[in-house]
Structures are given as structure tokens and as C-alpha cells.
A = this chain, B = another copy of it.
Amino acid sequence: MRPALIYYVAASLDGYIARPDGRVDWLEAIEESGDDHGYQAFYDSIDGLLMGRATYETLLAFGGDWPYPGKPCLVLARGDLPPAAPDVRINHDTPAQAIEQLAAAGCKRIWLVGGGSLAGSCYSAGLLDELVVSVIPHLLGAGIPLFAAGLERRLQLREQRSFPTGVVQLHYQFLPEAEIT
């Protein structure tokens, strides 16, 4: 069985995951609240990670320890980026091939960490199963959209919950096109 691919991401109310230059400083007030908004429970539920080049480079630039030790992480990037940890593999396969490799490594639930470009590719290729958006009470006005793909799709709401920080987490399922009525 193909593993589930879950795009778990924070976005501004106007649908951006980062400023135009990739900065996420506007998330700091939320991160410093001490409320993890269910992150640990989500992280415990996944067993593999998929990320794009820009997201990986942002993580490297933060420095410090690799934040996802012990879970296989595939980074889709061309060129010679250094693997940040033993669990990290970097190649330039397609998203579908990457998911196959993570499946072969035993993964059943894969977190699509980001960013908008890879999410757009996975979305366009019909590979996304779930979308969990933490809607931040913030209007950015401009930025990197949730999906770098101008595609239309109906979703099914599975769950929603709000937090004292004003964050509302919306959990959607992507339906197979045939099931959309």
C-alpha cells in the first residue's frame, strides 16, 4: 500500500507560508507561546519526511542539531548539498519516486515538510492525501503561497480545532477526483 503523504504547514489567513523572501519571523510570536499546537502528537504519528531544497537550506541555515533524528528524510534537490544527519538522503528523483523509496524503507505516513514549490508538485501529481493547515491570525499581504500550482481542487474537512493563541488548525483530506460530487 502506498504510504500517506501529509502536508502539515502553518499559513497566514491570506494563504502564505512565508514572506516573499522565505522568512517566517511572523511565526515567532506563535512559537514563543509555549503551545505546540499539537505538533509533537503529529510528529509522533509520522515515520518519514519529504522536503524541498529551499526548506532544507533554511533548516541548515538555522544551524544546531538536525531537528528530525531517527526518521528517514528525503530531500529533493539537484546539486551537492551536504546531508545534515545520517537519516538524510538527498537526490533529484521525482516526488513519486521519493515516496516509493520511503515506502521501501517502511514508511506508512510521510510528512511533506515543505515548501510551497514541492507541495505544488505533489499536489499537481495527485500525490497528496491530507492537508493540515495551522491558520495563523495574521495577514501577510504577500508571500509564498501554500501551493505553487494554480490548480483547483475540492477538499473534505476532517477536523478543526482552535488554540488559545488564536491559531485554528484545519485538517482536510484530498479526495480522489472520482469521489468528488
Residues in chain A within 8 A of chain B (CB atoms): 13-15, 26, 29, 133, 135, 137-142, 145-147, 149-157, 160, 162, 166-168, 170, 172
Assess the A13–B133 pair: CB atoms within 8 A. Answer: yes
Tell me the smallest distance from the CB of A126 to a CB of chain B, in Å.
13
Find out whether the CB atom of A156 lies under 8 angstroms from the CB atom of B166: yes
Q: Nearest 5 CB-CB pairs, A to B?
A: A15-B15, A157-B166, A141-B150, A137-B155, A14-B15
Please tell me if the beta carbons of B137 and A141 are within 8 angstroms of each other in the complex.
no
Task: Show 22 A/B contacts (Cβ-Cβ < 8 Å), sorted by A.
Answer: A13-B15, A13-B133, A13-B146, A13-B155, A26-B152, A29-B154, A137-B156, A137-B157, A138-B152, A139-B146, A139-B152, A139-B154, A139-B155, A140-B152, A141-B147, A141-B149, A141-B150, A141-B153, A157-B162, A157-B167, A160-B162, A168-B170
